[in-house]
Amino acid sequence: MDTEATAARIADGDRRALARAITLVESGREDHRAQAIELLEALKRLKRQAIRIGLSGTPGVGKSTFIEAFGCSLTGRGLKVAVLAVDPSSARSGGSILGDKTRMERLSREPGAFIRPSPAQSQLGGVARRSREAIALCEAAGFDVVLIETVGVGQSETVVAEMSDLFVLLLAPAGGDELQGVKRGIMEMADLILVNKADGDLKPAATRTCADYSGALKLLRKRPQDPEGFPKAMLVSALEEEGLEKAWDEMQFLIKWRKENGFLDTIRAEQARYWFREEVRQGLLRQLETGAAKAVMERLGTEVARGEITASQAARTALARIADR
Amino acid sequence: MDTEATAARIADGDRRALARAITLVESGREDHRAQAIELLEALKRLKRQAIRIGLSGTPGVGKSTFIEAFGCSLTGRGLKVAVLAVDPSSARSGGSILGDKTRMERLSREPGAFIRPSPAQSQLGGVARRSREAIALCEAAGFDVVLIETVGVGQSETVVAEMSDLFVLLLAPAGGDELQGVKRGIMEMADLILVNKADGDLKPAATRTCADYSGALKLLRKRPQDPEGFPKAMLVSALEEEGLEKAWDEMQFLIKWRKENGFLDTIRAEQARYWFREEVRQGLLRQLETGAAKAVMERLGTEVARGEITASQAARTALARIADR
């Protein structure tokens, strides 16, 4: 691969070059990894930035419909929108369940939109790195907004929040008791809660749910990176395309405020540092899966399982062997 | 420390020697660590085993009252009972909230009982190793039952389940909708669900809650290590000391069945292997916090935060430097 030429094509907004570059960062091959890093370093010089919006919602809240409607409203304003997916479950389910273009037909036909499904990878660590690097590629390709969607399971929300400028939680109208269904930790990550399906029969329930969450958000400790009134809960209807512009206005306001008050840069710097550390950690642990270290781990593991040696003694021995190699 | 002499005192059931040995395994000092491992290896030769019961319950379910009543019913049968606590939050809250003797006054006065509060450590990894080693020390000291209690927050239940022969989930009576409050993953770990406070006004609610969980447990996939009818939900009243003997009968039945069918040894072997791997992983990651690696991480981390280098490139550089050292 000619790094400079590829970088130039991506910078020119060439979709095919962008798609191939994302495939490159998804690859596990060592030579691909070296190329990917070289490409990312080259593109970094452009210093292009998009608004990175993390979006989480459990199945059934209307995530695809929302992204389709919200994405089209942004392209309608002349903005270029990329949609990426962080889906740790895709390996298990045997295929991507997020970022599926057939679920967002209208948006996928928009010239200003780029949709990339989640790759089939088992490790959340791998998915995270790929997503982080795909965001950087989309920014270099000149997108104004990068939407990173995930399902509300396990650790994937934390992963997405750690690579977003703002984190949106999409919810469906619920019965009065269901407030507890959203874990406190997830609530604390949200900058904006959008209660979807505020239409037809569900409107009263949506209004009530939104009021419940507004109340709950007020009880959270105020974070320095929030202007007055944030985090905030709002009603939207993806189906009737209502509330989408207002939601976008709020997002822009929040980003602008954070930029002016220095928080946007600080948050991105801390996120970059976090991912650097995470990647080193993952890299260190990967050495246990290969070569001499793997053999040591297997042999000692068997001795531990047989009860011939304590786990503590075996761990000490293994660490000494790995350090000596 | 004279390892052989200490080992002999612990094997004799000397409480003070046991308490000191637990303090030793809690220590972070390198020389203490070496002594701890030597002591554990020496005691291993005794091949003494206790029934290891993991017990989880959120604050308010009556965990202390249950452990007090259940522990006393076991000591009343002539059994020796040790109570340990796995409390990852203790460092934050500035003191142990579990295993507090003042909350179990009657049990702490029993000659057959030994209660050890959770140490003030921040890392769940450190707490886990300490607990695992404390269990081994209690077994060597001749205890028949080791109760490992934890609160139902974060990952601590998984940690406790991974060091227990059976895992008990203690619940309080709840409204009909609150079944969702217990995460599916926790339900799937439980061998026995005890619905506490089946007394007085709460009895009807407890009975309904127990029926709800019985139904929910039946929907889970049958695990090979379970005899017919397990996992199981039961009513208890710690306050009125009702259902405790029946609960103990069920636990004994389950352990006996697993022992006869080879599952007890298999589960313990897999747990030991798991902890060995975990400890090696923790050890590898710890090197990032000290010496030359720490300096490399800090310098590169700053460059990443300043935007001078991508996280991916920095991670690659850091891993190469750490491997070279």
- A311 with B37: Cβ contact below 8 A: no
Report the gap between the CA of B287 and the closest CA in chain A (Å). 10
Of B270, B301, B313, nearest to A277 by CB-CB distance is B301
Which residue, A284, A259, A301, is CA-closest to A125? A284
pLDDT of B117 reads 83
Asked if A17 and A2 touch (Cβ cutoff 8 Å), the reply is: no
Question: Is residue B282 situated within a structural domain?
Answer: no
Minimal-distance CA residue of chain A relative to B183: A181
Task: State how far the Cα of A86 lies from the Cα of A159, in Å rounded to an integer.
Answer: 8
Confidence label for A117 from pLDDT (cuts 50, 70 and 90)? confident
- A305 with B272: Cβ contact below 8 A: yes
Report the gap between the CA of A14 and the closest CA in chain B (Å). 23
Confidence label for A84 from pLDDT (cuts 50, 70 and 90)? very high
Report the gap between the CA of B233 and the closest CA in chain A (Å). 23
Query: Could you list the residue range(s) of the whole structural domain that residue A309 is in?
Result: 290-324
| Same-domain check for residues B221 and B303 | no
- Is the pLDDT confidence value at A95 over 50? no
Asked if A62 and A104 touch (Cβ cutoff 8 Å), the reply is: no
Question: Is residue A268 situated within a structural domain?
Answer: no
Question: Is residue B122 situated within a structural domain?
Answer: yes
Size of interface A-B (CB pairs under 8 A): 132
- Is the pLDDT confidence value at A101 over 90? no
CATH label of the domain that carries residue B176: 3.40.50.300
- A310 with B44: Cβ contact below 8 A: yes
| Same-domain check for residues B23 and B112 | no
pLDDT of B291 reads 86
Asked if B89 and B183 touch (Cβ cutoff 8 Å), the reply is: no
Question: Is residue A279 situated within a structural domain?
Answer: no
pLDDT of B92 reads 40
| Same-domain check for residues B27 and B53 | no
pLDDT of A198 reads 94
Q: Chain B partners of A281 at a C-beta cutoff of 8 Å?
A: 285, 288
Of A44, A276, A285, nearest to B300 by CB-CB distance is A276
| Same-domain check for residues B117 and B252 | yes
Burial status of residue A42 (CB atoms within 10 A of its CB: 0-12, 13-18, 19 or more): middle
| Same-domain check for residues B28 and B91 | no
Q: How many domains does chain B have?
A: 3
Picking from B261, B282, B298, the residue at the C-terminal end of a domain is B261
Picking from B224, B244, B261, the residue at the C-terminal end of a domain is B261
Task: State how far the Cα of A118 lies from the Cα of A97, in Å rounded to an integer.
Answer: 8
- Is the pLDDT confidence value at A178 over 60? no
| Same-domain check for residues A92 and A129 | yes
Q: Chain A partners of B280 at a C-beta cutoff of 8 Å?
A: 288, 297, 315, 318-319, 322
Q: Give the residue from B284, B288, B296, B325 with the most A CB atoms within 10 Å of its CB, the best one to mutate.
A: B284
| Same-domain check for residues B33 and B124 | no
Look at A125 and B28; give whichever has higher pLDDT.
B28
Report the gap between the CA of A27 and the closest CA in chain B (Å). 14
| Same-domain check for residues B150 and B215 | yes
The share of chain A scoring above pLDDT 90, in percent, equals 73
- A269 with B309: Cβ contact below 8 A: no
The identity of residue B197, as a single letter, is: K
Q: What is the ipTM of this complex?
A: 0.86
Of A279, A302, A312, nearest to B37 by CB-CB distance is A312
- A313 with B37: Cβ contact below 8 A: yes
| Same-domain check for residues A193 and A219 | yes
| Same-domain check for residues B94 and B174 | yes
Look at A100-104, A183-187, B33-37 and tell me which has the smallest mean pLDDT. Answer: A100-104
pLDDT of B89 reads 60
DSSP B49-66: --EEEEEE--TTS-HHHH
| Same-domain check for residues A202 and A243 | yes
Asked if B81 and B112 touch (Cβ cutoff 8 Å), the reply is: yes
Question: Is residue B185 situated within a structural domain?
Answer: yes
Q: Give the residue from A38, A274, A276, A313 with the most B CB atoms within 10 Å of its CB, the best one to mutate.
A: A276
- B276 with A301: Cβ contact below 8 A: yes
Place of tokens 């037809």: A200
Q: Chain A partners of B270 at a C-beta cutoff of 8 Å?
A: 305
Question: Is residue B197 situated within a structural domain?
Answer: yes
